[in-house]
Amino acid sequence: MFIILSASFRTDIVAFYTPWFIKRVQEGFVDVRNPFNPRLISRIYFDDVDAILFCTKNPHPIIPYLKDLNKPILFHVTLTGYKNDVEVHVQNKKQIIEDIKKISEILGKDRVVVRYDPIFLSKKYSVDYHIRAFTKICKELDGFVFKIIISFLDTYKNVSKNKKILDCLEFSLNDYKKIGTSFSQIAHLHHMKIHTCFEDINLVEYGFDIDDCFSRELAFQMTGKCFPTWKARKGKKCSCVEMVDIGVYNSCRHLCKYCYANYDEGKVLNQSMRHKINSSLLIGKVGNDDIIKVRKK
């Protein structure tokens, strides 16, 4: 078994917890509490890690450390056109674009992927609005990014709670066609591949590519090793490589109204207060009753 570390689909470790992550790298291991069996903790030694996937809306805090991590790295940076009514505490978008350029210069443009997701429609955020925002992003990042990924909003618990704020409209077939055709043309004009993520509607008929967010082919290019596909997503239109996530749900302080990983803003505040930079766990500490199992290669 090989290990790709995900930091993280469950929270934005890079934006809010980079000092803790770097401390864990220096200590040589990180502990992860099982979200479905809280007494069970997985311990992962960084010597056993083959590559790291950073998923973030704000890559700025970790940029100074990239050259010292000594692991193959892939970035997924989420960058959209939404305002702070939806993305409450997201960093200035101009700064994010500049940081993406820096990462591209350090790691190479094949190691930083932009995610324009999730897409939802409202009176404020129309199809034409998204086309304008997407055009601006692609124009700014021409030559710095090789791939861009989109997805559409799913009805998570947090989405249902914030439905009045989001004020979502139903997509028509013409909406999908207009987004698919326009986004495809814009991306290719600016020398980028574009594909959907984990979607029933993949927009291939409008010029989108067929690809995975983190494919086995890319993992082999980065590490020289053959990784299995993600077991948890088997049969769900996803062929990404298996990853180990070290994040914690309900701990991302961006507080985006569409977020799938947060569903209780009060709990986010509580979890953030329980974060300790010297703990081996992202949130809280290892207790006497906890069971620690080392995840082996």
Per-residue pLDDT reduced to its tens digit, 237-288: 678 899 999 999 999 999 999 999 998 888 999 999 999 999 999 999 999 9
In percent, how much of the chain has pLDDT > 90? 83
Q: Where is 41: in which H helix or E strand?
A: strand 37-45
Question: What is the model's pTM?
Answer: 0.95
Per-residue pLDDT reduced to its tens digit, 20-33: 999 999 999 999 99
Residue 183 CA, distance from chain mean position: 20
Q: Count other C-beta atoms under 10 Å from residue 254's C-beta.
A: 22
CA distance 227 to 240: 9
The CA distances from residue 292 to 30, 228, 289, in Å, are 11, 25, 10
Per-residue pLDDT reduced to its tens digit, 96-128: 999 999 999 999 999 999 999 999 999 999 999
